[in-house]
Structure 1
Amino acid sequence: MESEIGNKTDSSATGTNRSEPVENIKIGYIGGGSRGWAYTLINDLAQCTTIAGEVVLYDRIFESAKRNERFGNWVQDREDAIGDWEYTAVEDRATALDNADFVVLSTQDPPPETMAHELDIPADYGIYQSVGDTVGPGGTVRAMRTIPVYRDIAAAIRENCPNAWVVNYTNPMTICVRTLYEEYPDINVAGCCHEVFHTQEHLAELVGKYRDTDQPSRKEIDVNVKGINHFTWIDEMSWHGEDLHPLLETHLEEEIRNRSFKPGALDDESYFVDNELITYELYERFGTFPAAGDRHLAEFVPWFLTADDKTDVQQWGIRLTPSKYRITRQEDALSKFHDPMNGEEEFEFFESGEEFVGIVNALLGFDELKTNLNLPNRGQVSNLPEDAVVETNALFTEDCVTPLAAGALPRQVHNLVSSHVENQETLIEAGFTGDADLAFQAFLNDPLVSISMTNARAMFNEMITAVRPYLEGHWNLESASVIN
């Protein structure tokens, strides 16, 4: 994979001129029983005429992959499906990966009960998490579970399809991508997240609201992205050359300052409600605009989730996602597969906004694509460590991805971000050596772990005990001084 740092986005230099469709593409899908992203992929591929082939679905729960096989082929049989794809579920991961051209990673190996433990145990110690999948005590232990899984995936890719292009959608994004490169340095992988898309959509809404024009597409909003996944920042933003910072200031004065919520006021709202109070508070304090949802941003800093009661966090316009939802949503999501096939609900194609098809098209030479990606730092963010996985813009062209230089983070934003980068790098080192004591250092240094050393150690032990079956054989738990 070419990964030179660049600034140019001139398509005249890329030679992208393919016009004939490319057939017989093989996509190996690890996590092929996905209840979320697989649905979107099936929708998008069925509307695509530039590429065609086979999607081979592998999942640790074979029946889940078979469900997606049935649904994918059912969608392809519709008269309004213009794509040409066949879906096949397999019980062997090597079969899914063998000679794959592209690999999709959208997988959660342990059952959702593990994430429930990672939310509930910290809550018993007064530490609340709005998501629990990236940072915080939950995100740290999830990383410990994830590193062995992704080392194994990287080794399997190296063995079965070493030249494939790999797209990761799994969280914790940074840990997943960093593990893949650490295990297999020559891997061609990019981590994709749509949080920045939502920020572009918000900026497009401001254009429609404060300018005499219809709301533009998010793709018309040009942003300079820098940071790490779920803690990205934008210091340049424009629409057809117009700087959008004045619109942020107007929106802050006219809308955001008037928003306030009392504890319990959002009890009837979606668990994913986002009133942008945290985004704009960070923007006002640090002068750079965060490019992730409030529920993610809240977990990277110590100020918004610190509360005597969990409903107190609602003053910031968000809700906590309870562990029960993490468990039950998996089953609730099945209806969108079953109901259309059973005739109980109409299926309609939709515009997903995701960019996997665009990525494939660009890599095959149809067109170029500029988007935000998670890749090893080769100078994209000049004041973060080399090789640490950062999120910036990058340019896809034929058989090439070029990360684009984003510049340095402002000093105090760097201060916020760099502590998480060091924790993530520590977790990678710990995961590859099995050193649970080293992992505990990262656990202690997380901003949300603001309790006594005694309680922090007790919490860590409880969390490790709850997920121990997924750590044994990979982590040296018996010899760790921190483990009772």
Structure 2
Amino acid sequence: MHRLEESASSQSQSSVQIGYIGGGSRGWAHTLINDVLQCDDLAGTVSLYDVDYEAAEQNAKLANALTSRSDANGAWTFEARRNVNDALADADFVICSIQDPVDETFVHDIDVPQEYGIYQTVADTVGPGGVLRSLRAIPQYREIAATVREQCPDAWVINYTNPMTVCTRTLYEEYPDINAIGLCHEVFETQRLLADIAERYVDDAADVTADEIDVNVKGINHFTWADEAHWHGHDLFQYLERELEERKPIPGFDPGELDDESYWTNHHQIAFDLYDRFGLLGAAGDRHLAEFVPWYLDIDEPEEIQRWGIRLTPSSARTDDGEGPAKMDQYLSGDAAFEFTESGEKVVDIMRALEGLEPIKTHVNHPNRGQTPDLPTGAVVETNAVITGGGVAPITAGDLPREVRSMVLTAVHNQETLIDAGFAGDLDLAFQAFLNEPLVTVHRDAARELFAELVDRERDYLQDYDLEGAAVLEG
């Protein structure tokens, strides 16, 4: 985040109503609780809605208990709501972070394509997994947008759910006058990488933080690119060639070498390989970048991806291991203390900015209004924006190099096709996007079988589609 001049009104307190869809989570919901309770110039009510009401109720109970702690600065009340209309009624802000049952959806998105020789490092944005997750999300986000239109038409909607681009784009397609942005933390990791580079190559640079790095980003979520980066007037791109030479050979690991590392490990090898090939730095984590192109994941065995300094994320890493509920029980019983931390997320800063307290500059996902002139108008793109009490003003990021633009456009056109398919309930149209995914490198008939198998396994979550009339499911 880049702070601009501080407003004189920043010392006052604004009262806001937040509706949280996905309020039963142990992840983003706890992050929001952590962040709002450390904010002393916003106050109000957070209405937590979740299809699992009991989980939302537990989060409300935990959060209300935390408000009495001396290190909780915010004056907030938390309420669990059984009905989404009640949660969003007259809301100033709507936050979305939802997830279908992993063992009934996400596990299939990862495991089934592997049976066809298609490997994915994340499976939530593009590739077979991204397509299926999009198809599940579009009806859900149409409902969210319709509820916002009815209950809080002027609210700002802040989306954290993947696939970020498709979810945010659906909100605007259903309710064109909506105020919505998508937030992702991937670029922050790139800013931390560039902060390290500043410390190594700029004389007298020490203790450089990610917030101090001003980076120009462009593209779409998880396939974002940086072509400029500065730290206090120092051009950091001039050091990338030296950094590239230091990191060579790329790829620089052996298959199996990372078996003991985290599934989420990232050595920025793909980001720098893309820089080496195209002159722009990949500004998302390598696990995401790898899925937008056909060559990094062209492997025969899972261990081969480790050559690039990353690991495949198995479905077992996505299922609930019980730690979340166990921790919640400990929090509520008093056996463990909820620790307030610096989360690094910007949602509270963005709400403060939109309330007119303190403007900021940060990256957001927002419909293209010219900030990326060479990408389609209306497509959701990721660039910097200035956020004030007057709203969100995306900053022109400039054009992409031709070959990079070609790769990005493939993803954009697939996402737009999925939006059309989702609104029409047309799985045959969705299959066209599926076939055009760079990771779907199998024979057309095998691709059809894979698509049909994924739909069959997840059909309970695809009831808004014409399952009976889809030719692609008939064989």
Superposition TM-score tier, normalisation by shorter sequence:
over 0.9
Q: Which of 36, 39, 45 is matched with 1:48 structurally?
A: 39
Q: Mean alpha-carbon deviation: is it higher for 397-406 or for 287-296?
A: 397-406
Q: Paired residue for 1:254?
A: 246
Q: Paired residue for 1:242?
A: 234
- Give distance in 1, aligned partners of 2:157 and 2:135: 22
Inter-CA distance 60–10: structure 2 relative to 1 (3 Å threshold):
closer
Q: Paired residue for 1:304?
A: 296
Q: Paired residue for 1:221?
A: 213
Given that residues 16 and 397 in structure 1 are in contact (C-alpha distance below 8 angstroms), is that contact kept between their aligned partners in structure 2?
A: no
Q: Paired residue for 2:471?
A: 481
Given that residues 218 and 382 in structure 2 are in contact (C-alpha distance below 8 angstroms), is that contact kept between their aligned partners in structure 1?
A: yes
Is 2:76 aligned against 1:105? Answer: no
Q: Which of 319, 328, 343 is matched with 1:327 structurally?
A: 319
Is 2:180 aligned against 1:189? Answer: yes
- Give distance in 2, aligned partners of 1:204 and 1:11: 20
Secondary structure in 1 aligned to 2:341? coil
Shift of 1:63: 1.1
Given that residues 380 and 404 in structure 1 are in contact (C-alpha distance below 8 angstroms), is that contact kept between their aligned partners in structure 2?
A: yes
* AA of the residue aligned to 1:438: L
Given that residues 60 and 109 in structure 1 are in contact (C-alpha distance below 8 angstroms), is that contact kept between their aligned partners in structure 2?
A: no
Q: Paired residue for 2:273?
A: 281
Deviation string for 1:108-139 (max 9, x for gaps)?
A: 14444300001111000000001000000110
Deviation string for 1:20-74 (max 9, x for gaps)?
A: 4334311000000111111111111111111001101000001110121122112
Aligned counterparts, 1:450-465, within 5 A: 450-465=441-456
Q: Mean alpha-carbon deviation: is it higher for 180-189 or for 392-401?
A: 392-401
- Give distance in 1, aligned partners of 2:65 and 2:454: 42
Q: Which of 292, 310, 317 is matched with 2:309 structurally?
A: 317
* AA of the residue aligned to 1:382: P
Given that residues 102 and 318 in structure 2 are in contact (C-alpha distance below 8 angstroms), is that contact kept between their aligned partners in structure 1?
A: no
Is 2:107 aligned against 1:96? Answer: no
| Root-mean-square deviation (Å) | 1.7
- Give distance in 2, aligned partners of 1:34 and 1:206: 36
In the superposition, the TM-score normalised over structure 1's length comes to 0.94
Given that residues 14 and 355 in structure 2 are in contact (C-alpha distance below 8 angstroms), is that contact kept between their aligned partners in structure 1?
A: no
- Give distance in 2, aligned partners of 1:50 and 1:256: 48
- Give distance in 1, aligned partners of 2:3 and 2:167: 31
- Give distance in 1, aligned partners of 2:297 and 2:10: 51
- Give distance in 1, aligned partners of 2:230 and 2:325: 40
Aligned counterparts, 1:424-463, within 5 A: 424-463=415-454
Deviation string for 1:387-419 (max 9, x for gaps)?
A: 010000011011311011111111111011000
**Runs of 4+ off more than 2 Å:** 9-12, 19-24, 109-113, 209-213, 255-260, 331-348
Q: Paired residue for 1:134?
A: 125
Shift of 1:347: 3.4
Inter-CA distance 256–349: structure 2 relative to 1 (3 Å threshold):
farther
Shift of 1:350: 1.1
* AA of the residue aligned to 1:483: L
- Give distance in 1, aligned partners of 2:29 and 2:3: 33
Shift of 1:11: 6.0
Deviation string for 1:219-246 (max 9, x for gaps)?
A: 1111111000000001111111111013
Inter-CA distance 112–370: structure 2 relative to 1 (3 Å threshold):
farther
Aligned counterparts, 1:395-406, within 5 A: 395-406=386-397
Q: Which of 50, 53, 60 is matched with 1:59 structurally?
A: 50
Shift of 1:256: 4.4
In the superposition, the TM-score normalised over structure 2's length comes to 0.96
- Give distance in 2, aligned partners of 1:408 and 1:469: 42
- Give distance in 2, aligned partners of 1:51 and 1:425: 37
Given that residues 98 and 160 in structure 1 are in contact (C-alpha distance below 8 angstroms), is that contact kept between their aligned partners in structure 2?
A: yes
Shift of 1:258: 7.3
- Give distance in 2, aligned partners of 1:17 and 1:363: 15
- Give distance in 2, aligned partners of 1:337 and 1:215: 35
Q: Paired residue for 1:25?
A: 16
- Give distance in 1, aligned partners of 2:79 and 2:267: 42
Shift of 1:348: 2.8
Q: Paired residue for 1:6?
A: none
- Give distance in 2, aligned partners of 1:11 and 1:68: 34
Q: Which of 263, 272, 289 is matched with 2:264 structurally?
A: 272
Deviation string for 1:323-352 (max 9, x for gaps)?
A: 1221125x3233443334434334332111
Structure 2: where are the runs of 5+ without partners?
none
Q: Paired residue for 2:284?
A: 292
* AA of the residue aligned to 1:447: P
* AA of the residue aligned to 1:311: E
- Give distance in 2, aligned partners of 1:306 and 1:103: 40
* AA of the residue aligned to 2:361: K
- Give distance in 1, aligned partners of 2:136 and 2:271: 30
- Give distance in 1, aligned partners of 2:161 and 2:103: 14
Secondary structure in 2 aligned to 1:333? helix
Inter-CA distance 112–376: structure 2 relative to 1 (3 Å threshold):
farther
Inter-CA distance 416–119: structure 2 relative to 1 (3 Å threshold):
same
Structure 1: where are the runs of 5+ without partners?
1-8
Shift of 1:208: 1.6
Secondary structure in 2 aligned to 1:427? helix
Secondary structure in 2 aligned to 1:482? helix
Given that residues 155 and 179 in structure 2 are in contact (C-alpha distance below 8 angstroms), is that contact kept between their aligned partners in structure 1?
A: yes
